[in-house]
Structure 1
Amino acid sequence: MAQTNRSALIFGARNLGRAIIETLVAQGWNVAGAARSDETLATVAAAGAIALRSDITDQAAVRATVEEAAQALGGMDLVVNAAAAYGGNRTGPFGGGPLAEAAPDAFDSWSVAPARSAFAFLSGTAGALATLDLHATLIQVTGGSSRRAMPGRGLWAAGAFGVRAITQAAALELREQGIHVALLIVDAGIEPYAGGGRPGVDPAALADPRQVADAVVFLAEQGPRSATHELQVTPLAETWVP
Protein backbone atom coordinates (compact mmCIF):
# COMPACT_ATOMS: atom_id res chain seq x y z
CA MET A 1 0.00 0.00 0.00
CA ALA A 2 1.42 3.40 -0.97
CA GLN A 3 2.40 5.81 1.77
CA THR A 4 1.15 9.39 1.67
CA ASN A 5 2.18 12.57 3.43
CA ARG A 6 5.42 11.07 4.69
CA SER A 7 8.76 12.73 4.05
CA ALA A 8 12.31 11.42 3.89
CA LEU A 9 15.82 12.74 3.30
CA ILE A 10 18.53 10.38 2.07
CA PHE A 11 22.22 11.30 2.21
CA GLY A 12 24.12 9.53 -0.56
CA ALA A 13 22.46 8.34 -3.76
CA ARG A 14 24.98 6.53 -5.91
CA ASN A 15 24.10 2.94 -5.02
CA LEU A 16 22.20 1.98 -1.86
CA GLY A 17 20.93 5.53 -1.42
CA ARG A 18 19.56 5.48 -4.96
CA ALA A 19 17.70 2.23 -4.24
CA ILE A 20 16.25 3.73 -1.04
CA ILE A 21 15.12 6.87 -2.83
CA GLU A 22 13.44 4.96 -5.66
CA THR A 23 11.76 2.56 -3.23
CA LEU A 24 10.33 5.38 -1.13
CA VAL A 25 9.19 7.39 -4.15
CA ALA A 26 7.44 4.30 -5.53
CA GLN A 27 5.61 3.93 -2.21
CA GLY A 28 4.36 7.50 -2.29
CA TRP A 29 6.81 9.18 0.06
CA ASN A 30 7.92 12.77 -0.48
CA VAL A 31 11.69 12.41 -0.83
CA ALA A 32 14.81 14.55 -0.99
CA GLY A 33 18.28 13.24 -1.73
CA ALA A 34 21.51 14.93 -0.68
CA ALA A 35 24.87 14.49 -2.40
CA ARG A 36 27.96 16.43 -3.44
CA SER A 37 28.46 15.68 -7.14
CA ASP A 38 26.40 16.99 -10.04
CA GLU A 39 26.18 13.47 -11.45
CA THR A 40 24.63 12.06 -8.28
CA LEU A 41 22.28 15.02 -7.88
CA ALA A 42 21.04 14.43 -11.42
CA THR A 43 20.29 10.83 -10.44
CA VAL A 44 18.29 12.06 -7.44
CA ALA A 45 16.19 14.36 -9.62
CA ALA A 46 15.64 11.63 -12.21
CA ALA A 47 14.26 9.38 -9.46
CA GLY A 48 11.58 11.95 -8.67
CA ALA A 49 13.17 13.38 -5.53
CA ILE A 50 14.31 16.88 -4.61
CA ALA A 51 18.08 17.16 -5.14
CA LEU A 52 20.05 19.02 -2.46
CA ARG A 53 23.79 19.60 -2.42
CA SER A 54 25.38 18.75 0.93
CA ASP A 55 28.44 17.26 2.62
CA ILE A 56 27.75 14.40 5.04
CA THR A 57 31.05 15.01 6.85
CA ASP A 58 30.10 18.61 7.73
CA GLN A 59 27.86 18.92 10.81
CA ALA A 60 26.62 22.40 9.92
CA ALA A 61 25.91 21.38 6.32
CA VAL A 62 23.90 18.37 7.48
CA ARG A 63 21.84 20.50 9.83
CA ALA A 64 21.13 23.09 7.15
CA THR A 65 20.19 20.37 4.65
CA VAL A 66 17.75 18.71 7.06
CA GLU A 67 16.11 22.06 7.75
CA GLU A 68 15.92 22.87 4.02
CA ALA A 69 14.47 19.46 3.19
CA ALA A 70 11.89 19.65 5.98
CA GLN A 71 10.72 23.02 4.71
CA ALA A 72 10.54 21.84 1.10
CA LEU A 73 8.77 18.57 1.96
CA GLY A 74 6.47 19.93 4.64
CA GLY A 75 7.93 17.81 7.43
CA MET A 76 10.42 15.04 8.11
CA ASP A 77 9.71 11.42 9.08
CA LEU A 78 12.89 9.64 8.01
CA VAL A 79 16.53 10.63 7.54
CA VAL A 80 19.07 8.06 6.29
CA ASN A 81 22.83 8.22 5.98
CA ALA A 82 23.68 5.85 3.13
CA ALA A 83 26.73 7.84 2.01
CA ALA A 84 30.19 6.32 1.99
CA ALA A 85 32.66 8.66 3.71
CA TYR A 86 36.40 8.39 3.26
CA GLY A 87 39.09 10.88 4.12
CA GLY A 88 41.35 11.97 1.31
CA ASN A 89 42.74 9.26 -0.95
CA ARG A 90 42.41 5.76 0.44
CA THR A 91 45.79 4.10 0.68
CA GLY A 92 46.74 0.45 0.50
CA PRO A 93 44.31 -2.46 0.18
CA PHE A 94 40.68 -2.29 1.27
CA GLY A 95 40.42 -1.76 5.01
CA GLY A 96 43.88 -0.23 5.34
CA GLY A 97 45.91 -3.43 5.17
CA PRO A 98 48.02 -5.05 7.93
CA LEU A 99 48.77 -2.56 10.69
CA ALA A 100 52.52 -3.07 10.43
CA GLU A 101 52.40 -2.07 6.77
CA ALA A 102 49.83 0.74 6.91
CA ALA A 103 50.70 4.14 5.45
CA PRO A 104 50.99 7.14 7.82
CA ASP A 105 47.70 8.62 6.60
CA ALA A 106 45.79 5.32 6.58
CA PHE A 107 44.18 5.91 9.97
CA ASP A 108 42.68 9.23 8.92
CA SER A 109 41.39 7.73 5.67
CA TRP A 110 39.97 4.48 6.96
CA SER A 111 39.14 5.12 10.63
CA VAL A 112 38.45 8.81 11.23
CA ALA A 113 36.32 9.65 8.18
CA PRO A 114 33.49 7.11 8.74
CA ALA A 115 33.12 8.03 12.42
CA ARG A 116 33.17 11.74 11.58
CA SER A 117 30.44 11.17 9.00
CA ALA A 118 28.22 9.39 11.54
CA PHE A 119 28.83 12.16 14.07
CA ALA A 120 27.99 14.91 11.58
CA PHE A 121 24.89 13.05 10.41
CA LEU A 122 23.45 12.25 13.83
CA SER A 123 24.46 15.48 15.55
CA GLY A 124 23.41 17.74 12.70
CA THR A 125 20.10 15.94 12.14
CA ALA A 126 19.22 15.84 15.84
CA GLY A 127 19.93 19.55 16.14
CA ALA A 128 17.73 20.36 13.16
CA LEU A 129 14.86 18.22 14.44
CA ALA A 130 15.05 19.91 17.84
CA THR A 131 14.89 23.36 16.24
CA LEU A 132 11.95 22.32 14.06
CA ASP A 133 10.23 20.38 16.88
CA LEU A 134 9.96 17.29 14.67
CA HIS A 135 10.18 13.57 15.41
CA ALA A 136 11.68 11.16 12.92
CA THR A 137 13.48 7.88 12.39
CA LEU A 138 17.23 8.26 11.82
CA ILE A 139 19.04 5.36 10.14
CA GLN A 140 22.81 5.12 9.95
CA VAL A 141 24.04 2.46 7.51
CA THR A 142 27.29 0.64 8.20
CA GLY A 143 29.03 -2.66 7.38
CA GLY A 144 29.80 -5.89 9.17
CA SER A 145 33.12 -4.53 10.42
CA SER A 146 31.10 -2.66 13.05
CA ARG A 147 30.66 -6.08 14.71
CA ARG A 148 34.19 -7.50 14.57
CA ALA A 149 37.67 -6.81 13.23
CA MET A 150 39.34 -8.85 10.52
CA PRO A 151 43.03 -9.28 9.65
CA GLY A 152 44.11 -6.53 7.30
CA ARG A 153 40.99 -4.48 8.00
CA GLY A 154 41.64 -3.25 11.51
CA LEU A 155 41.63 0.40 10.50
CA TRP A 156 38.31 0.03 8.70
CA ALA A 157 36.87 -1.79 11.71
CA ALA A 158 38.06 0.98 14.04
CA GLY A 159 36.01 3.47 12.06
CA ALA A 160 33.01 1.14 11.89
CA PHE A 161 33.19 0.54 15.65
CA GLY A 162 33.13 4.31 16.06
CA VAL A 163 30.06 4.57 13.84
CA ARG A 164 28.29 1.95 15.97
CA ALA A 165 29.22 3.65 19.24
CA ILE A 166 28.05 7.08 18.10
CA THR A 167 24.79 5.62 16.78
CA GLN A 168 24.15 3.77 20.05
CA ALA A 169 24.73 6.96 22.01
CA ALA A 170 22.34 8.87 19.76
CA ALA A 171 19.69 6.17 20.18
CA LEU A 172 19.95 6.41 23.96
CA GLU A 173 19.96 10.21 24.02
CA LEU A 174 17.07 10.77 21.61
CA ARG A 175 14.60 8.08 22.69
CA GLU A 176 12.84 10.34 25.20
CA GLN A 177 12.39 12.96 22.48
CA GLY A 178 10.43 10.52 20.35
CA ILE A 179 13.27 10.14 17.85
CA HIS A 180 14.00 6.58 16.74
CA VAL A 181 17.67 5.97 15.91
CA ALA A 182 18.71 2.71 14.26
CA LEU A 183 21.94 1.22 12.96
CA LEU A 184 21.45 -0.82 9.78
CA ILE A 185 24.36 -3.25 9.43
CA VAL A 186 24.81 -4.60 5.91
CA ASP A 187 27.14 -7.52 6.58
CA ALA A 188 28.22 -8.05 2.99
CA GLY A 189 29.33 -6.18 -0.07
CA ILE A 190 26.47 -4.38 -1.79
CA GLU A 191 25.73 -5.24 -5.39
CA PRO A 192 26.13 -2.27 -7.75
CA TYR A 193 22.74 -0.71 -8.44
CA ALA A 194 23.09 -1.30 -12.16
CA GLY A 195 23.99 -4.95 -11.58
CA GLY A 196 27.03 -6.71 -12.95
CA GLY A 197 28.32 -7.91 -9.60
CA ARG A 198 31.88 -7.51 -8.39
CA PRO A 199 34.97 -9.27 -9.75
CA GLY A 200 35.79 -12.42 -7.80
CA VAL A 201 32.68 -12.28 -5.61
CA ASP A 202 29.78 -14.72 -5.78
CA PRO A 203 26.79 -12.57 -6.84
CA ALA A 204 24.60 -14.45 -4.35
CA ALA A 205 26.86 -13.27 -1.52
CA LEU A 206 26.27 -9.59 -2.34
CA ALA A 207 23.42 -7.71 -0.69
CA ASP A 208 20.70 -6.56 -3.08
CA PRO A 209 20.41 -2.76 -2.60
CA ARG A 210 16.67 -2.89 -3.26
CA GLN A 211 16.15 -5.47 -0.53
CA VAL A 212 18.25 -3.39 1.85
CA ALA A 213 15.95 -0.49 0.95
CA ASP A 214 13.05 -2.66 2.10
CA ALA A 215 14.80 -3.00 5.46
CA VAL A 216 14.95 0.80 5.70
CA VAL A 217 11.20 0.97 5.12
CA PHE A 218 10.68 -1.69 7.81
CA LEU A 219 12.60 0.42 10.34
CA ALA A 220 10.86 3.63 9.29
CA GLU A 221 7.41 2.13 9.74
CA GLN A 222 7.95 0.77 13.25
CA GLY A 223 5.80 2.21 15.99
CA PRO A 224 7.06 3.55 19.33
CA ARG A 225 6.32 0.23 21.03
CA SER A 226 8.41 -1.87 18.63
CA ALA A 227 11.53 0.14 17.89
CA THR A 228 14.58 -1.73 16.56
CA HIS A 229 17.89 -0.01 17.29
CA GLU A 230 20.16 -2.40 15.39
CA LEU A 231 19.26 -4.51 12.37
CA GLN A 232 21.72 -6.75 10.54
CA VAL A 233 21.18 -8.16 7.05
CA THR A 234 23.44 -10.92 5.68
CA PRO A 235 22.95 -12.81 2.40
CA LEU A 236 22.66 -16.57 2.95
CA ALA A 237 25.57 -17.14 0.56
CA GLU A 238 27.83 -14.90 2.67
CA THR A 239 29.65 -16.08 5.79
CA TRP A 240 27.62 -15.30 8.91
CA VAL A 241 29.35 -14.87 12.25
CA PRO A 242 27.07 -14.87 15.35
Structure 2
Amino acid sequence: MTHPDDLSGLSALVTGGASGIGLATATLFAARGARVACLDLVPEVPEPLLGIRADVADDASVRAAVDRAAAELGGLDIVVNNAGIGAQGTIEDNPDDEWRRLYEVNVLGVVRTTRAALPHLRRSAHPAVVNTCSVAATDGLPARALYSATKGAVLALTRATAADLVAEGIRVNCVNPGTVDTPWVGRLLATAEDPAAERAALEARQPTGRLVTPEEVAAAIAYLAGPAAGATTGTALAVDGGMAGLRTRPRTTARAGG
Protein backbone atom coordinates (compact mmCIF):
# COMPACT_ATOMS: atom_id res chain seq x y z
CA MET A 1 0.00 0.00 0.00
CA THR A 2 1.30 3.49 -0.86
CA HIS A 3 2.20 5.60 2.17
CA PRO A 4 -0.29 8.51 2.56
CA ASP A 5 2.57 11.03 2.52
CA ASP A 6 3.99 9.69 -0.74
CA LEU A 7 4.09 12.15 -3.67
CA SER A 8 6.05 9.90 -6.02
CA GLY A 9 5.23 10.45 -9.66
CA LEU A 10 3.60 13.83 -9.10
CA SER A 11 4.79 17.16 -10.48
CA ALA A 12 4.54 20.31 -8.39
CA LEU A 13 5.02 24.02 -8.95
CA VAL A 14 5.75 26.37 -6.04
CA THR A 15 5.76 30.14 -6.47
CA GLY A 16 8.11 32.04 -4.19
CA GLY A 17 9.92 28.73 -4.00
CA ALA A 18 13.48 29.96 -3.45
CA SER A 19 13.21 30.87 0.24
CA GLY A 20 11.15 30.63 3.41
CA ILE A 21 7.91 28.65 3.29
CA GLY A 22 8.24 28.10 -0.45
CA LEU A 23 11.67 26.50 -0.26
CA ALA A 24 10.68 24.38 2.74
CA THR A 25 7.63 23.17 0.81
CA ALA A 26 9.56 22.42 -2.37
CA THR A 27 12.23 20.56 -0.39
CA LEU A 28 9.61 18.45 1.42
CA PHE A 29 7.79 17.66 -1.82
CA ALA A 30 11.05 16.47 -3.39
CA ALA A 31 11.88 14.37 -0.34
CA ARG A 32 8.50 12.67 -0.74
CA GLY A 33 9.18 11.82 -4.37
CA ALA A 34 7.70 14.71 -6.35
CA ARG A 35 9.33 16.56 -9.23
CA VAL A 36 9.32 20.23 -8.24
CA ALA A 37 9.72 23.56 -10.04
CA CYS A 38 10.32 26.71 -7.97
CA LEU A 39 9.16 29.96 -9.57
CA ASP A 40 10.85 33.02 -8.13
CA LEU A 41 12.34 36.37 -9.09
CA VAL A 42 15.75 34.94 -8.14
CA PRO A 43 15.28 31.18 -8.69
CA GLU A 44 18.44 29.94 -7.02
CA VAL A 45 17.50 26.54 -5.55
CA PRO A 46 19.44 23.37 -4.74
CA GLU A 47 19.13 20.19 -6.76
CA PRO A 48 16.93 18.33 -7.49
CA LEU A 49 14.66 21.39 -7.49
CA LEU A 50 14.17 23.18 -10.81
CA GLY A 51 14.44 26.96 -10.59
CA ILE A 52 12.49 29.09 -13.08
CA ARG A 53 12.45 32.88 -13.09
CA ALA A 54 8.97 34.36 -12.90
CA ASP A 55 7.30 37.55 -11.75
CA VAL A 56 3.79 36.79 -10.50
CA ALA A 57 2.89 40.45 -11.07
CA ASP A 58 3.32 39.93 -14.83
CA ASP A 59 0.90 37.65 -16.69
CA ALA A 60 3.18 36.87 -19.63
CA SER A 61 6.01 35.94 -17.26
CA VAL A 62 3.72 33.62 -15.30
CA ARG A 63 2.30 31.88 -18.36
CA ALA A 64 5.75 31.26 -19.82
CA ALA A 65 7.10 29.94 -16.51
CA VAL A 66 4.11 27.65 -15.88
CA ASP A 67 4.29 26.20 -19.39
CA ARG A 68 8.03 25.64 -19.03
CA ALA A 69 7.55 23.93 -15.68
CA ALA A 70 4.88 21.63 -17.12
CA ALA A 71 7.09 20.77 -20.09
CA GLU A 72 10.18 20.02 -18.01
CA LEU A 73 8.33 18.12 -15.27
CA GLY A 74 6.09 16.15 -17.60
CA GLY A 75 2.85 17.88 -16.55
CA LEU A 76 1.50 19.53 -13.41
CA ASP A 77 -0.42 17.92 -10.57
CA ILE A 78 0.11 20.42 -7.75
CA VAL A 79 0.27 24.20 -7.69
CA VAL A 80 1.33 26.02 -4.52
CA ASN A 81 0.66 29.76 -4.68
CA ASN A 82 3.12 30.92 -2.05
CA ALA A 83 4.69 34.09 -3.51
CA GLY A 84 3.77 37.14 -1.48
CA ILE A 85 4.98 40.40 -0.02
CA GLY A 86 4.17 42.18 3.22
CA ALA A 87 3.32 45.63 4.45
CA GLN A 88 2.95 47.36 7.79
CA GLY A 89 0.59 50.16 8.70
CA THR A 90 -2.96 51.15 9.56
CA ILE A 91 -5.53 52.08 6.92
CA GLU A 92 -4.06 55.62 6.96
CA ASP A 93 -0.44 54.70 6.44
CA ASN A 94 0.00 53.02 3.05
CA PRO A 95 -0.28 55.02 -0.20
CA ASP A 96 -2.46 53.82 -3.06
CA ASP A 97 0.55 52.62 -5.05
CA GLU A 98 1.52 50.26 -2.23
CA TRP A 99 -2.04 48.93 -2.05
CA ARG A 100 -1.95 48.24 -5.77
CA ARG A 101 1.47 46.56 -5.52
CA LEU A 102 0.41 44.16 -2.77
CA TYR A 103 -2.79 43.22 -4.58
CA GLU A 104 -0.80 42.64 -7.79
CA VAL A 105 1.45 40.12 -6.03
CA ASN A 106 -0.60 38.63 -3.20
CA VAL A 107 -3.97 38.32 -4.94
CA LEU A 108 -3.53 38.64 -8.68
CA GLY A 109 -0.40 36.52 -8.46
CA VAL A 110 -2.61 33.66 -7.24
CA VAL A 111 -5.09 34.35 -10.02
CA ARG A 112 -2.45 34.43 -12.76
CA THR A 113 -0.63 31.29 -11.66
CA THR A 114 -3.75 29.20 -11.08
CA ARG A 115 -5.29 30.37 -14.36
CA ALA A 116 -2.16 29.51 -16.31
CA ALA A 117 -1.90 26.09 -14.64
CA LEU A 118 -5.50 24.98 -15.13
CA PRO A 119 -5.04 23.43 -18.60
CA HIS A 120 -2.27 21.26 -17.14
CA LEU A 121 -4.16 20.44 -13.93
CA ARG A 122 -7.14 19.27 -15.94
CA ARG A 123 -4.95 16.53 -17.38
CA SER A 124 -3.86 15.31 -13.93
CA ALA A 125 -5.33 12.39 -12.01
CA HIS A 126 -4.62 14.13 -8.69
CA PRO A 127 -4.91 17.91 -9.27
CA ALA A 128 -4.59 20.23 -6.30
CA VAL A 129 -4.01 23.92 -5.61
CA VAL A 130 -2.81 25.18 -2.22
CA ASN A 131 -2.63 28.90 -1.48
CA THR A 132 -0.52 30.42 1.29
CA CYS A 133 -2.93 32.67 3.14
CA SER A 134 -2.48 33.97 6.71
CA VAL A 135 -4.03 34.22 10.15
CA ALA A 136 -4.38 37.89 9.16
CA ALA A 137 -7.31 36.81 6.97
CA THR A 138 -9.34 35.73 9.97
CA ASP A 139 -8.02 37.76 12.94
CA GLY A 140 -7.64 41.50 13.26
CA LEU A 141 -3.94 42.26 13.69
CA PRO A 142 -2.70 45.76 14.56
CA ALA A 143 -0.86 47.76 11.89
CA ARG A 144 -1.52 45.19 9.16
CA ALA A 145 -4.53 46.67 7.35
CA LEU A 146 -3.19 46.36 3.80
CA TYR A 147 -1.58 42.95 4.25
CA SER A 148 -4.69 41.61 5.99
CA ALA A 149 -6.94 42.86 3.22
CA THR A 150 -4.94 40.97 0.60
CA LYS A 151 -4.97 37.77 2.64
CA GLY A 152 -8.69 38.10 3.25
CA ALA A 153 -9.07 38.23 -0.51
CA VAL A 154 -6.94 35.08 -0.87
CA LEU A 155 -9.16 33.24 1.60
CA ALA A 156 -12.34 34.22 -0.27
CA LEU A 157 -10.69 33.43 -3.61
CA THR A 158 -9.67 29.98 -2.34
CA ARG A 159 -13.22 29.07 -1.38
CA ALA A 160 -14.82 30.48 -4.52
CA THR A 161 -12.31 28.74 -6.78
CA ALA A 162 -12.82 25.48 -4.90
CA ALA A 163 -16.55 25.76 -5.59
CA ASP A 164 -15.94 26.45 -9.27
CA LEU A 165 -13.53 23.55 -9.78
CA VAL A 166 -14.87 20.82 -7.51
CA ALA A 167 -16.94 19.25 -10.29
CA GLU A 168 -13.73 18.84 -12.31
CA GLY A 169 -11.99 17.07 -9.45
CA ILE A 170 -9.55 19.93 -8.83
CA ARG A 171 -9.16 20.61 -5.12
CA VAL A 172 -8.34 24.11 -3.85
CA ASN A 173 -7.34 24.80 -0.25
CA CYS A 174 -5.19 27.24 1.72
CA VAL A 175 -3.01 27.33 4.81
CA ASN A 176 -3.24 30.15 7.34
CA PRO A 177 0.14 30.50 9.04
CA GLY A 178 0.75 32.63 12.08
CA THR A 179 4.05 34.50 12.32
CA VAL A 180 6.62 32.29 10.62
CA ASP A 181 10.36 32.50 11.26
CA THR A 182 11.31 33.36 7.67
CA PRO A 183 13.89 35.72 6.14
CA TRP A 184 11.08 38.25 5.54
CA VAL A 185 10.18 38.31 9.24
CA GLY A 186 13.88 38.59 10.05
CA ARG A 187 14.17 41.69 7.86
CA LEU A 188 11.05 43.11 9.48
CA LEU A 189 12.50 42.60 12.95
CA ALA A 190 15.76 44.21 11.92
CA THR A 191 13.93 47.50 11.27
CA ALA A 192 12.39 47.58 14.75
CA GLU A 193 13.71 49.95 17.40
CA ASP A 194 14.34 46.95 19.67
CA PRO A 195 14.49 43.76 17.53
CA ALA A 196 14.78 41.44 20.54
CA ALA A 197 11.74 42.97 22.23
CA GLU A 198 9.76 42.85 18.98
CA ARG A 199 10.61 39.17 18.48
CA ALA A 200 9.54 38.44 22.05
CA ALA A 201 6.24 40.21 21.42
CA LEU A 202 5.61 38.19 18.27
CA GLU A 203 6.39 34.96 20.11
CA ALA A 204 4.12 35.89 23.02
CA ARG A 205 1.26 36.62 20.59
CA GLN A 206 1.11 32.93 19.70
CA PRO A 207 -0.24 30.65 22.45
CA THR A 208 2.59 28.16 21.84
CA GLY A 209 5.03 30.91 22.83
CA ARG A 210 7.18 30.64 19.71
CA LEU A 211 7.17 31.45 16.03
CA VAL A 212 5.95 28.89 13.51
CA THR A 213 8.69 27.19 11.47
CA PRO A 214 8.61 27.10 7.66
CA GLU A 215 8.80 23.30 7.86
CA GLU A 216 5.58 23.16 9.91
CA VAL A 217 3.74 25.17 7.27
CA ALA A 218 5.28 23.02 4.53
CA ALA A 219 3.96 19.88 6.21
CA ALA A 220 0.43 21.30 6.18
CA ILE A 221 0.75 22.29 2.52
CA ALA A 222 2.04 18.83 1.63
CA TYR A 223 -0.97 17.22 3.31
CA LEU A 224 -3.47 19.41 1.46
CA ALA A 225 -1.63 18.91 -1.84
CA GLY A 226 -1.39 15.13 -1.65
CA PRO A 227 -3.83 12.45 -2.77
CA ALA A 228 -4.44 11.47 0.88
CA ALA A 229 -6.46 14.70 1.24
CA GLY A 230 -8.75 13.75 -1.63
CA ALA A 231 -11.92 14.66 0.29
CA THR A 232 -10.62 18.07 1.42
CA THR A 233 -11.40 21.16 -0.63
CA GLY A 234 -12.38 24.75 0.15
CA THR A 235 -10.63 24.44 3.52
CA ALA A 236 -8.35 26.86 5.38
CA LEU A 237 -5.90 24.98 7.62
CA ALA A 238 -4.49 27.13 10.44
CA VAL A 239 -0.81 26.64 11.29
CA ASP A 240 -0.64 29.53 13.71
CA GLY A 241 0.38 28.28 17.14
CA GLY A 242 -3.25 28.60 18.27
CA MET A 243 -3.66 32.30 17.43
CA ALA A 244 -7.02 31.97 15.67
CA GLY A 245 -8.72 29.53 18.00
CA LEU A 246 -7.29 29.87 21.49
CA ARG A 247 -7.70 32.58 24.11
CA THR A 248 -5.04 31.76 26.69
CA ARG A 249 -3.76 33.63 29.69
CA PRO A 250 -0.31 35.21 29.53
CA ARG A 251 2.40 32.69 30.32
CA THR A 252 3.44 34.71 33.38
CA THR A 253 0.03 34.11 34.95
CA ALA A 254 -0.17 31.07 37.21
CA ARG A 255 -2.93 28.58 36.53
CA ALA A 256 -5.68 28.49 39.11
CA GLY A 257 -7.18 25.20 40.22
CA GLY A 258 -6.80 21.80 38.56
TM-score relative to the length of structure 1? 0.80
In structure 2, the residue matched to 1:235 is 241
Out of 181, 198, 201, the position equivalent to 2:199 is: 201
- Give the superposed CA RMSD: 2.8
| Offset of residue 111 of structure 1 | 4.5
Give distance in 2, aligned partners of 1:172 and 1:60. Answer: 27
Which protein is bigger by CA-based radius of gyration?
A: 2
Out of 151, 155, 161, the position equivalent to 2:146 is: 155
Given residue 74 of structure 2, which amino acid in structure 1 is its aligned partner? G
Give distance in 1, aligned partners of 2:137 and 2:77. Answer: 26
Q: How does 1:8-23 map to 2 (within 5 A)?
A: 8-12=12-16, 13-23=18-28
Which runs of no fewer than 5 residues in structure 1 stay unpaired?
87-93
Q: How does 1:78-227 map to 2 (within 5 A)?
A: 78-85=78-85, 94-95=87-88, 97-130=89-122, 133-135=123-125, 136-186=127-177, 188-192=178-182, 199=195, 200-202=198-200, 204-221=209-226, 222-227=228-233
In structure 2, the residue matched to 1:51 is 51
Give distance in 2, aligned partners of 1:100 and 1:62. Answer: 32
Which runs of no fewer than 5 residues in structure 2 stay unpaired?
190-194, 204-208, 247-258
In structure 1, the residue matched to 2:192 is none
Greater shift, 14-23 or 109-118, is seen at: 109-118
Would the alpha carbon gap of residues 71 and 105 (structure 1) be closer, same or farther in structure 2, given more than 3 Å must change?
Answer: closer
1:164-191, CA deviations, whole angstroms, 9 ceiling, x for partnerless residues? 22222211111111111111111x2211
| Offset of residue 126 of structure 1 | 2.0
Give distance in 2, aligned partners of 1:58 and 1:127. Answer: 19
Give distance in 2, aligned partners of 1:159 and 1:75. Answer: 30
1:165-224, CA deviations, whole angstroms, 9 ceiling, x for partnerless residues? 2222211111111111111111x221137x989532245431111111111111122343
